[in-house]
Structure 1
């Protein structure tokens, strides 16, 4: 049976703008008939994935998500600088060494980048076919959605470590041969597995044009919501000009508004440990490292939105990890009725509501038998996070 690791986290954030909507306001949701602050799962996954905590735990065994790989491929073809070096932020390209012409580098990079993206018809959004093609029974033709001018694709693509390595070898081969990539070479650069790529194995990818190369995500992340009613407030701020002598104008140099909110958030994460291990080619060591990386990042890494303005860094004071073969379930129902601040305080009440909901679900579904679990409660000084990590990642998560 499948082994699932489930994480339940409570994290308190002071005034902050953790995750903004299209109006530059903190994201919200209605739950239990009252407004809550919300942080999207996309924001959380991005935050955890790019954190130093995550990178250190998986020893840089990470993929690349980008629309711009074609540009880096072109630079590697022109300069001879390794693609892996050019993918490191802060590494600038050098001048062309003349081994590959600008025209060929652009054309070959466009061909390579086009292997990973959806194709679209030459006539627009739908498939098209001219009368002559119909008469001759020719197949409908499509073109890449990678721009020949910018070498950027219209969709973002998640590339695995194995694919990056294959691209490095292909670029070297093209520079040595001076010939355009063949169909066989192009078809060989895509990998069906996420072997050696922790973040791709966790979060998956979809290549609609090549479904055989899709990777099913082993990790599911819920949107984080406040356990209580919450409101978006407005911060009116000004900026003062240091060189203003106030002789002509004593006012501020800039005025603005920024929405913010504060609250105690409940987060839920579910990892299919067996699928994660399968995605990583059976590598138990990397599976364990990926789980440790995700759990520690989820507990200690805050969303980066407006960090300089609010310093909204926080660790989860309460973390519950459950592991077993049962069908997963979140515990957000515990907060359908907003938690209040009375008694011993909101965090204590939230933990109590969470424990009560968990106990009652186990009572009616499993004769009161809980899943094996470990937890920490910083408010009471109970538990050990390293013990929780060992429990979560033990035996490659299985």
Structure 2
């Protein structure tokens, strides 16, 4: 039985920047192919994608990841059942108890929180709020009334697109976990990097003592610049199963493709103004398994006298993709390319060459056909 998997490969050049810092404030790195590379963690890029979802998707398609679950549900109950406002907090606590998610307060006067981040969709909060209000109106034993409304099941239905894509782990109630439909790799540079330091000074604008010289502040900021290889994959069948709707799955794939390509982590962005768009995007639709092409860069790219790193990276990526797919008999079922300028021309022949809008529409249409069984 064939599957539907979307692979997204991106080459993106970023100028001096510090997109994703480690615990010392240094840009994250990794050793690959025996040399140190610039690295941006998958968590950082997924967070950037989720932020950008807010411009692509309706609030009803999104979720919230927070420890303040009681406070959020309290607010939903007040909005949907104003006459129960004085009991909203009590109802919220009882509801999460019935779901199986433990909450507690660090101090007596503070609101209760879960012990970990809980990822619930907007619709799930609404459904839980309605169930809590219904149980309260029924009177009698609240815990029994909530159990009769099967609030645990309500927390495991109508998942949001971001929950379906990135998954959910609930430590207290493992049977409502959601397996992620998307895989996002750590972005790494196609070449070796050495982090550099920017020494800066700042003047005290209010200091009027002409005899006092020197800066009001001095410091250093660590940075590097890199041409990154970024990769993500989406299991469309799992996505459709979790969301329960082919239309929702198509919408999710289109939103993820666009936001993964155009998003960027915002670490130190006001200091470096490093926002760029990718130089090249290659999307492959597969029927067997996801395939990363990071092996094209196991031997680090070096800058030549007649060609920069980007053009060499594009040639490497194009050659490696074709060779891997031929040797392992894994041709794509469909393919799309967006590339900018002559440096990435090597990728133009690997798929339907066009704009990002055309790529997103093409991927969405193909996904819709396959989920409908007409591909």
- How does the TM-score come out when normalised to structure 2? 0.85
Q: Residues 83-122 of structure 1 correspond to what in structure 2 (within 5 A)?
A: 101=86, 105-114=88-97
1:255 aligned to which of 213, 218, 222:
218
Task: Label 1:172 to 1:323 Cα distance change in 2 as closer, same or farther (>3 A).
Answer: same
Alignment of 1:289-308 (within 5 A): 289-308=251-270
The alpha-carbon distance between structure 1 residues 100 and 58, as it changes in their structure 2 partners (threshold 3 A), is closer
* Partner of residue 7, structure 1: 8
Residue 182 of structure 1 aligns to a residue in which SS? helix
CA distances 1:92-117 after superposition (whole Å, capped 9, x unpaired): xxxxx99655xx55444333344566
State the alpha-carbon separation in 2 of the partners of residues 176 and 250 from structure 1.
72
How big is the shift at 1:156?
A: 0.2
* Alignment-derived partner of residue 94 in structure 1: none
Higher helix share: 2
Equivalent position of 2:230 in the other structure: 267
Q: Check the 8 A contact 2:124/2:155 in 1, yes or no.
A: no
Residue 361 of structure 1, aligned match among 304, 316, 324 = 324
The alpha-carbon distance between structure 1 residues 279 and 370, as it changes in their structure 2 partners (threshold 3 A), is closer
Normalising by structure 1, we get a TM-score of 0.81
- Count of residue correspondences: 353
Please state how far the C-alpha of 1:369 moved relative to its aligned partner: 4.3
Q: CA deviation at 1:211?
A: 2.2
Residue pair 1:204, 1:214 contacting (<8 A) in 2 also: yes
Instruction: Give 1:126's aligned residue.
Output: none
How much has 1:70 moved relative to structure 2?
Answer: 1.2
1:55 aligns with 2:18: no
CA contact (8 A) 2:91 2:132 kept: no
2:178 pairs with 191, 196, 215, which one? 215
Q: 2:123 aligns with which of 157, 162, 165?
A: 162
Secondary structure of the 2:124 match is: helix
- Partners of 2:76 and 2:292 in 1: how far apart? 46
Q: Deviations over 1:58-112 (max 9, x none)?
A: 32210111011212334556xx3459xxxxxxxxxxxxx99655xx554443333
Q: Deviations over 1:344-392 (max 9, x none)?
A: 32111101111111111122111x8455211111123863122221232
| Distance in 2 separating the partners of 1:181 and 1:319 | 54
Q: Which residue of 2 aligns with 1:138?
A: none
CA distance in structure 2 between the partners assigned to 1:333 and 1:76 by the alignment: 48
| Cα 1:351/1:114, change in 2 over 3 Å | farther
Aligned partner of residue 50 in structure 1, secondary structure: helix
1:60-75 equivalences under 5 Å are 60=59, 61-75=61-75
8 Å Cα contact 2:195/2:222 also seen in 1? yes
How far residue 231 of structure 1 moved from its aligned partner, in angstroms, is 1.6
Task: Please give the alpha-carbon distance, in whole angstroms, between the structure 1 residues aligned to 2:315 and 2:302.
Answer: 12
Q: Mean alpha-carbon deviation: is it higher for 376-385 or for 21-30?
A: 376-385
Matched, 1:153 2:124: no
**Could you tell me how far apart the structure 2 residues matched to 1:111 and 1:256 are?**
51
Match for residue 388 of structure 1?
359
What is the SS of the residue equivalent to 2:328? Answer: helix
User: For 2:154, what is the secondary structure of its paired residue?
Assistant: coil
Deviation at 1:270, TM superposition (A): 0.7
Of residues 179, 182, 186, the one that matches 2:143 is 182
Q: Pick one of 305, 311, 319 that aligns with 1:348.
A: 311
The residue that corresponds to 2:207 in the other structure is 244
| Deviation at residue 184 of structure 1 after TM alignment | 4.5
Which residue is equivalent to 2:25?
Answer: 24
Per-residue Cα deviation, 1:144-182 (whole angstroms, up to 9, x for no partner) = 556564312220000023311113314544675687742
**Partners of 1:190 and 1:145 in 2: how far apart?**
22
Q: Tell me, in whole angstroms, the C-alpha distance in 2 between the residues paired with 1:260 and 1:57.
A: 31
Runs of 5+ consecutive residues of structure 1 not aligned to the other structure: 84-96, 120-143
Cα distance in structure 1, aligned partners of 2:236 and 2:56: 17
Q: Is the 8 A contact 2:121 2:160 kept in 1?
A: yes
* Cα drift, residue 201 of structure 1: 0.9
